[in-house]
Amino acid sequence: MRTCALPRLSLMFVSFMLVLLSLSAVFGQDLPQAEAIQRANLRAGPGISYPIIGEIVKGTRYSVIGRSARFPWLLLQLPDRQGWVFKDLVKITASLAAVPYTEQILNVNPTDVAPSATPFAGGAPIMGTAPAQAPEAPGAPGAAVVYVEAIDYANVRFGPGIDFPRIGEIQRGERYAVLRRHATFLWLEIVYPRYVTGRGWVFRDTVNVFGDLSSVPSTDERIFGTPILSPTPPMVVTAEPFWSATPRSSTNPALSALAESIYNLLLSRNFVPFTRKQASVFLMDLQTGESVNINPNVAYSGVSLIKVPLLVAFFRKAFLAPTAQQARLMAEMIICSENLSSNALLEMIGEGDEYRGVLYVTETMQLLGLKNTFLARSFFTGAVVLGPTPTPQPFVPVPILADQSYTNPDPYNQTTAEDLGWLLANLYYCARDGSGALRAAFPQELTPVECRRMIRVLRANRINGLLEMGLPPDALFARKHGWAAETHGDAAIVFTPRGDFVLTVLMYDRGWLEFEESSALIAEIARQTYNAFNPEQPVPATRKTDIPLCSFDAITALDPTLISDLQLPDLPFPR
């Protein structure tokens, strides 16, 4: 009897595996599929430190049966095995929302472990679109330079690992010189002028290599600091996108210290870049044009903050002072975040068609170079439609460069902290003296008077919550707030005795963001910022949030001249 036990157990095990594979095949029909962009290694766990156990290639799709909650890796079901793949190396056929989270490490036999890949050495290196003003490529004088080109596209990160923040991406057809290779990890440091340091790291499997990698210096460095202060270009004075200007570092020690303090404050509240709970902050000194980004280039749901771009688009379209009715709609949209009023303005912009108005808002942002901000549909109102059912508005996805991986942004309405900050900064410059990107982009469509009208309606937005609770009670500011279940934000121009600044804050927590937490934290960020600009008159503490119900009657009670002010032929610049 003993002689039959092992075969029986083996047969039972095989039968059990066949049942599991059959179930996986059934359930896999409803799961998203992944296909390699070109080729992709499979690993035993969600990281490049785990052994390679296979490979997938373009042309075959596999069910995604799991995903890591911490890293951008997906667990695939193959006919004979499972394996983890780096997300950037595959195309996904559907949303990953229904795919369960797992951190399962696969048990593999030594015979299943694939040998290390040999670096690819392609044809002769050519410049292509490799940047000309980046750090000099390594090597002896006259030595051949090694380049990389994305297989399809490749994320660029601050350091050699997926735990480092993403600072951009490269596309197929673009070639970048390789500066260094990591001796332990499969990462390459490249020339990357889009980031302030002029360099970044790409995962080896996401790129093709042109040249001999063995000629490139190697490093085993493990500490790369933190990219918390990303200086942005100075004030935009042309219609070119702000990222095309030459960046310069902040020379203001107080501004750098402030940004460091805000970053540490966010970390202490568990708002950590590239996790399920994160925040982005953009701060700009309007006197010097110096600015810093904290957790930059991250897309968030635009919520009601997108109504600032709508306001700009309305004044770009209009050539006369607003009527009393239009002024009322603006006040309700900005102060009460009223969607019915917002849609009415979209209809006016679109000359009777809300969707045409939507397209005009996005076009306005695109022409300004704010390519991470868009509106793709009018606002939801929940109103019952009487009569014939209207034709549904088409949904045309708007491609953006900002990272959308972690913040679950609304597919119809997105922005970034830096886009909002630059829009407000240029609204300030336009209103002050007619300078900045708004006037450069739309010299015949926007005037300083119209910019001052926009600031006037934004100044009326006092809600006793968020940013303003960290400012003096009599502070002068022009702002827009917005929130949804997972995303809260506030964006403001703040006028102070010692200097004006723009501050935008966007926060996200997967599932639900507590308003008491976000309001108190945004208020503290505003308090620290105000005090950095006004150290002789600091705000000692934040105030408690107490947001009243909003209505047009409440608006006119608090600001009785708002509607008439918006209709004046001119308005003074606020001081």
Domain ranges of the chain: 27-92, 115-223, 242-381+392-566
Confidence band, pLDDT 50/70/90 cuts, at residue 104: confident
Would you state the pLDDT for residue 8? 42
Which of 243-257, 284-298, 356-370, 479-493 shows the lowest per-residue confidence on average (mean pLDDT)?
Answer: 243-257
pLDDT digits (tens, 9 = 90+) for 351-371: 999 999 999 999 999 999 898
Above 70 in pLDDT, residue 309? yes
Q: Average pLDDT, stretch 551-574?
A: 93
pLDDT digits (tens, 9 = 90+) for 474-501: 999 999 999 999 999 999 999 999 999 9
* Contact criterion met (CB below 8 Å) for 80 and 235: no
* Contact criterion met (CB below 8 Å) for 380 and 339: yes
Give the list of residues 6+ apart from residue 551 with CB closer than 8 angstroms, or none. 336
Would you state the pLDDT for residue 509? 94
Of residues 186 and 228, which shows the higher confidence score? 186
Helix 339-349, helix 324-335: angle, nearest 10 = 130
Q: Where are the beta strands (DSSP E) in 336-423?
A: 374-375, 413-415
Q: Average pLDDT, stretch 278-293?
A: 90
pLDDT digits (tens, 9 = 90+) for 113-130: 554 433 322 322 222 233
Q: Which two tokens stand for residue 393?
A: 């508005």
- Is the whole-model pTM more than 0.85? no
Residue type, 199: R
**Alpha carbon distance 575, 573 (integer Å):** 6
pLDDT digits (tens, 9 = 90+) for 499-519: 999 999 999 998 899 999 999
**Alpha carbon distance 404, 408 (integer Å):** 7
Q: Exposed (0-12), middle (13-18) or buried (19+): which is 72, by Cβ within 10 Å?
A: middle
pLDDT digits (tens, 9 = 90+) for 135-154: 444 443 334 578 899 888 78
Nearest to 219 by CA among 178, 177, 183: 183
Angle at 305 between CA 302 and CA 308, to 5 degrees: 120
* Contact criterion met (CB below 8 Å) for 547 and 447: no
Share of the chain above pLDDT 90, in %: 46
pLDDT digits (tens, 9 = 90+) for 44-59: 888 776 788 888 988 8
Nearest to 537 by CA among 489, 479, 471, 486: 471
Above 90 in pLDDT, residue 197? no
**Alpha carbon distance 21, 248 (integer Å):** 56
Above 50 in pLDDT, residue 241? no
Above 90 in pLDDT, residue 533? yes
Residue type, 37: I
The per-residue DSSP string of 117-176 comes to: PPPP--S----TT--SSSPPP-SSTTPPPPEEEESSEEEEESSSSTTSPEEEEEETT-EE
Q: Does domain 242-381+392-566 have CATH number 3.40.710.10?
A: yes
Give the list of residues 6+ apart from residue 567 with CB closer than 8 angstroms, or none. 321, 322, 323, 324, 327
Of residues 333 and 244, which shows the higher confidence score? 333
Helix 354-368, helix 417-433: angle, nearest 10 = 80
Above 70 in pLDDT, residue 416? yes
Of residues 570 and 20, which shows the higher confidence score? 570
Q: Which two tokens stand for residue 545?
A: 């949030």
First and final C-alpha spacing in the chain: 96
Residue type, 223: I
Which of 157-166, 218-227, 267-276 shows the lowest per-residue confidence on average (mean pLDDT)?
Answer: 218-227
Would you state the pLDDT for residue 226? 47
**Fold of the CATH domain 115-223:** SH3 type barrels. (2.30.30)
pLDDT digits (tens, 9 = 90+) for 204-239: 988 999 988 888 888 877 655 544 343 333 322 222
Above 90 in pLDDT, residue 345? yes
**Fold of the CATH domain 27-92:** SH3 type barrels. (2.30.30)
Tell me the average pLDDT of the chain: 81
Above 80 in pLDDT, residue 564? yes
Identical fold for domains 27-92 and 115-223, yes or no, is yes
pLDDT digits (tens, 9 = 90+) for 422-438: 999 999 999 999 998 89
Q: Average pLDDT, stretch 318-322?
A: 92
